[in-house]
Structure 1
Amino acid sequence: MRNIKIIVLILSVYRIAGHTSLNHTKESFPRNTPGKLSNDLRNVLYQESIVRFSMVQNIQRLTMDVINIRSDRQTLKKNLDDMMEEVKTLETNGQRLQQENNVLKQNLTDLYATCSDNKRFTAKESQGFDVSQILTMQRQISVLKNNNDRQAMENENLRGRYLTLLQENGDFKHQLNEMNATLSQIRQLDDFNPRLQAIENNIRKLTFSTDVALNDIREDLNGSKLQLQNIPSEVWAACEKGWYQFEDNCYQFSNSSLTFNAAVTMCNSASKGAILLEIRSPEEENWIRLQMQRQGWKTTWIGITDSLDEGTFVFASSGNKIQNVHADWGRGEPGGGTGENCGLLLLKTKGWHDYPCSSKYRSICKKARV
């Protein structure tokens, strides 16, 4: 139990630290940052959140494994104690039934002897008795026979009960052997304690090294913050209000659900030189996915289509083939045939997909930074 409390405490500390760090980061830095410095800062924050989330998942999984193992061990021990108690009860009942069987056998022997004595009366020996005495003796003999039959039936029932008990005893011995094997496995679990202690030591070491790394990251971020404060204000205004900068481009996120062609038209009219999102590099795609996750988006249109030539996808703004620049299709994609001619980015899956152009999804507009 002490080990579990330590793990739960570590988990709580990381949850609090993660929540505080992320909130502080979001409040301390503007989302519109210039050039590669802004990209590096965001990548550092993104990597920090991934490391913390992975550690929390590992600690949760280790905690649940320890709890489940100890719960199974306690259940098995309780079942074993119950079965041992049943064995003692069955042995006591068996001894009692054996004693009853011996008594019944003795009574049966006495009845057989009595019947044999009664049969020795011959006609000659019966001449000395009157009719009433003979009838009385016959009735007594009939009663003895009935008692004998009843005792024989009870003895047969007792034999049946005894055989059933033997069968149950055999089944119980089989179960007891299985429980002994399980108990051996439980005893082997005692060897888990040193391994658990080793895991806790590794967690402590990982916690210390992670704290050191996070402190270094915070120091770098504080230094970068001072540098950002010295950047002229006109640099921050490189993108218009409502647009977000990544490298040399500005992006506008539209929550309206539009068809592909409507999204193209909307972006062209949103600002001079704006087009529907065209992803030109893996770094740009990673940044787009991160922004979608932050805003709670699941899908967005990509400005690619094969409407003019089935199977040949080109950028909607220029008609150039995407294979000459960057393509990140998912497994089996594009595979929609003539019914799916427009590109779509899904957050939960890796790679691009082709979807019907008449479907309605959110869109992202893109233009070069002035």
Structure 2
Amino acid sequence: MVGHRWLPWNNNPTSGSITVTSAKQDQEVSLDCLGSRKNLSRQRFCPVVGLSALCLLLLVASVALSVLYNNKSDSRPEWKSLLFDYQNVSESYVSLSKANSVLRGDNQVLKEQSAWLDEQARLLNRTSAKLMSVNLALSLESTDLMEQIVNLTSTNLQLTQEHARLVRLTSEQEEEKMNTSRTIEHLVESNQLQEQEGQRLSQINVLLREELLQLRDKNEELLEINDRFQGEIKNQSEQIAALLDDCEEASRRNTELQERLTELQEENQNLSSTLMKERQEAAEREDDRRNETERMEANYRSLDLHCPVVNHKTKERICTKCPDSWRLFENKCYYVSSRKLTWSSSRSWCQTQGGDLLVIDSQPEQDFIFESSQASGQSDTRLWIGLTDAEEEGEWFWVDGSSVTTGVQFWLSRPGVGTEPDDWKLDDPLGEDCGHMDTSEDPLQSWMDGSCKTPYRWICEKNL
């Protein structure tokens, strides 16, 4: 008895309860450790530690029971207590084994769920990438359509400019072909015929306007088709969130959208071709009408400018040196406009009046033109004159073919900024190839170069 007092259950009748309590505490520690699932390494390590601690306890309990059985075989109460403790330990071991099995099963389920979730995430990422690619493709197609519309608009503008050039060339050819020896008496006799022809041209003009309105309606239909296409693209963008839930449905809709897009592109091309053909036909008819109208108007203006009617009953005319609104200086007539046109259109207008854009030969002429422009009372101070270097950059010529370098020059010079002409390309990438006068500057420093497409007022000049 004395030799075995170091064993705790020899001197403490409640030693069995202490052992059981200790085992339960170890079990709780093991369960707490097993319950922590925050990372995979702890999930695998905690069950091993719990089982090791349980085996160690069982080993210690077996050794203690053996020693107690050999030394205290005659002590029945303590033996029953130890046997009770042993049973508790065995039950704890069984419960721990079951808990360990359950935890292993849970761990396996969690691994399978994690693998399934990873697979679903990869599928969603691939689906999202496909949908983003489809959206990008639709955006690119929309951009292409917008570029086609811009190209059509640019082509229309070029056709308009070409039309103006053809009008100018036609006017020049008609002017060259005009018989200068035609007398005023012949013009008076043909006045009635010209009025009838003017009525016929007016009717033709009405028909052409109706055709232009039809062309405009077709253009509006094209714009409406483009708006519907833009609306469909917007609707498809809003449906991307729903397509993430059903990839198969998204693929089907994407195919339908591609077919619809192809149909819209074909319709757009057909409408564009039809519109271009109709515009060309309308332009040709408009050219013929304008040529005829300008020829008739030139005859009227030539007669009315030089010999206006003073008695409408007798149609008596009196010829003057300069027409109304034209001012006489030395041996030429000058006209300062109040409207705005481009350089080429301004020149065409002057040529229909029997003259051309202003050519300045002397300082007195420059002073006269400068004062006349200021006296017109217009707020716009810039006026086109007959200067251009369109043939070769930097080589300036007057519209009569003479070089600017051989006569007087009144180019603008700004201290610290630069001198004109400077061929400024910020407003027009083609540069500045036409000359104009700015009456807000000094009279002897007022010439500037500008873009020929900019509308300014203009100054015409013609001989008596």
TM-score range, shorter chain: 0.3 to 0.5
TM-score by length of 1: 0.34
